[in-house]
Amino acid sequence: MSIQSASWRRGLGASTLLLIMSACVGVGYVGGGYEPYGYVGGGYEPYGYDYGGWGGAYRVGPPRGGPRGGGGGRHAPSIPSAPRGGGGHGGHPR
Amino acid sequence: MNVVLDRARISVRREIFALLACLTCSLAFAAPYELPPIGGSGPAEHHPGKIIWADLVTPDLAAAERFYAELFGWTYQTIHAGNTDYAVALLDGRPIAGLLQKPLPSGERRQPAWLTFIAVRDIDAARRIALGHGAKSVSEPKTYTGRGRQAVLADPEGAVIAMLASSSGDPPDYLAAPGEWIWSSLLVRDPAQEATFAKAVFGYDVFDLPSDDGAVHVILSSDDYARASVNSLPSSGHRRAHWLNFIRVMNAAESSAKAVSLGGRVLVEPHEDRHGGNIAVIADPAGAPIGLMEWSDTDTKVEPK
């Protein structure tokens, strides 16, 4: 074995050790699999469930218009209505 | 003697070079990465309870990128996050979502899905409350440079949700532009119990809305803005509790048709919702459900009393 190949083998050994060490830092369970050190987002959901088939009964949207405010008459507020770049930081248009 | 010393020096130099080269390669592969901040460009704002992010898990990142780019006009910033390919979706340069390539577990059929992220100030405190109210941990809290600290949970009915304490603050409260998230719904068997859970964990104000069709419709609000709804699942079909996020579109019927032409499917046909605009639910080419919602700036329909 030449001196050169021995050098590379030692280098590869060191890098492998480093990879293993870095992998140990952030192991986390992700919906059926393990992510060694990458970004841990969500996971896959179980298969075979229905997400549709509701037709017109599927009414889940937010209220709009009407009085706002959490107290008093308990009218549900709506979503932000201030346009981006329209002045203010999403101020409450009452 | 000099020749032997020279050979020894050369050998040592080669070893050092080889070690440095391999270490450089290793560090490049396992290098820390930075995710783009999701807060606004101004001073950091915090809006606990606001839906501030969504991640798609998909087996084919390239196909997902094409589909959403064509449908919503998204562009992408690709990040090699360790051993993970992660595309940050941008709308007009603003990061709004993440697309994560993840291989399907071999031999299993699984459902690609979008994961909803709700803003909190303190991940660990919110997580403790959630676990104390019947949630289960899906992934432990983890801090990402540029993004903040996040954790994934399954709520008492099993709907998977992420909480995120953004290190750059939360996006400001503007009306969503077409192509941006505008609304989120939690569909469950027991909306009252789930609303109580959400109130305890995220501090929402809870509003029961009257409904003329007998379905339960609860609004979760924070900062005096509606953030999400909790709705009852129909008894028919094979269903499980889940979150569904809606993108604002100008025309739900046209966007649904375009989704089909791009390889997607329509799960709920476009129809008028309580706010006066049309909504629809589609699935992307890999099967991940996502909602479409029209929202006119000028409609003034008032919720029935």
With beta carbons less than 8 A apart as the criterion, state whether A78 and A67 touch: no
B16 pLDDT band (50/70/90 cuts)?
low
Q: What is the 3-state secondary structure (H, E, C) of B89-132?
A: EEECCEEEEEEEECCCCCCCCEECEEEEEEECCCHHHHHHHHHH
> What is the reported pLDDT for A52?
82
> What is the reported pLDDT for B171?
95
Tell me which chain B residue has its CA closest to the CA of residue A57.
B213
Tell me which chain B residue has its CA closest to the CA of residue A22.
B30
* Torsional sign, CA B86, A48, B248, B226: negative
Interface mutation vs chain A, best among B11, B17, B19, B123, most A CBs within 10 Å: B19
Answer whether residue B224 is part of any domain: yes
Can you give the pTM of this predicted structure?
0.81
- CA-to-CA distance for B305 and B303, rounded, in angstroms? 6
Helix (H, G, I), strand (E, B) or coil at B280: strand
Mean pLDDT of B152-171: 96
CA distances B304 to A66, B190, B211, Å, are 9, 23, 8
Candidate from B31-35, B48-52, B127-131, B256-260 with smallest mean pLDDT: B31-35
CA distances B172 to B119, B199, B201, B305, Å, are 12, 22, 21, 30
Domain assignment of residue B121, given as a range:
51-294
Residue with tokens 């998230």: B181
Structure tokens that stand for B297 in this block: 């700036």
Q: What is the CATH number of the domain that holds B254?
A: 3.10.180.10
CA distances B204 to A62, A92, B213, B220, Å, are 15, 17, 25, 6
With beta carbons less than 8 A apart as the criterion, state whether B100 and B57 touch: yes
Number of residues written out for chain B:
305
Number of residues written out for chain A:
94
Q: What does the CA dihedral B114, B120, B121, B126 come to, rounded to 10 degrees? A: -110
Residue with tokens 């676990």: B131
Residues of B in contact with A90 (CB under 8 A): 172-174
Answer whether residue B173 is part of any domain: yes
- CA-to-CA distance for A53 and B249, rounded, in angstroms? 21
CB within 8 Å of chain B, chain A residues 59-78 = 59-66, 68-70, 74-78
Domains of chain B: total = 1
With beta carbons less than 8 A apart as the criterion, state whether B38 and B52 touch: yes
A42 Cβ contact partners less than 8 Å away, ≥ 6 residues apart: A30, A31, B55, B57, B100, B113, B114, B115, B152, B160, B162
> What is the reported pLDDT for B266?
97
> What is the reported pLDDT for B96?
95
Residue with tokens 């083998």: A9
Mean pLDDT of A6-21: 57
Candidate from B156-160, B210-214, B278-282, B288-292 with smallest mean pLDDT: B210-214
- Please say if the pLDDT value at position A23 is more than 60: no
Give how far A28 is from chain B: nearest CA, Å: 6
Answer whether residue B217 is part of any domain: yes
Averaged pLDDT score across all residues of chain B:
89
Answer whether residue B38 is part of any domain: no
Q: What percent of chain B has pLDDT over 90?
A: 71
Residues of A in contact with B15 (CB under 8 A): 7, 10-11
- CA-to-CA distance for A5 and B292, rounded, in angstroms? 60
Candidate from B60-74, B95-109, B147-161, B174-188 with smallest mean pLDDT: B95-109
Give how far B53 is from chain A: nearest CA, Å: 11
- Greater confidence, B169 or A22? B169
* pLDDT, tens digit (0-9, with 9 covering 90-100), for A25-84: 332 223 433 343 567 667 888 888 888 877 778 899 998 765 444 444 578 999 999 888
CA distances B42 to B122, B250, B252, Å, are 21, 28, 33
> What is the reported pLDDT for A75?
85
Give how far A25 is from chain B: nearest CA, Å: 11
For chain A, give every domain's residue range: 3-57
> What is the reported pLDDT for A6?
63
Answer whether residue B226 is part of any domain: yes
- CA-to-CA distance for B296 and B287, rounded, in angstroms? 28
- Please say if the pLDDT value at position B80 is more than 90: no
Answer whether residue B8 is part of any domain: no
Mean pLDDT of B50-56: 97
- Greater confidence, B228 or A85? B228
B220: nearest Cα among B46, B50, B45, B47: B50
With beta carbons less than 8 A apart as the criterion, state whether A66 and B303 touch: yes
- CA-to-CA distance for A55 and B115, rounded, in angstroms? 24
Answer whether residue B17 is part of any domain: no
- Please say if the pLDDT value at position A88 is more than 80: no
> What is the reported pLDDT for B87?
95
- CA-to-CA distance for A81 and B248, rounded, in angstroms? 13
Structure tokens that stand for B35 in this block: 């995710």
Helix (H, G, I), strand (E, B) or coil at B33: coil
Residue with tokens 């609004």: B219
Residues of A in contact with B79 (CB under 8 A): 39
Residues of B in contact with A14 (CB under 8 A): 19, 22-23, 26
* pLDDT, tens digit (0-9, with 9 covering 90-100), for B255-289: 999 999 999 999 999 999 988 899 999 999 999 99
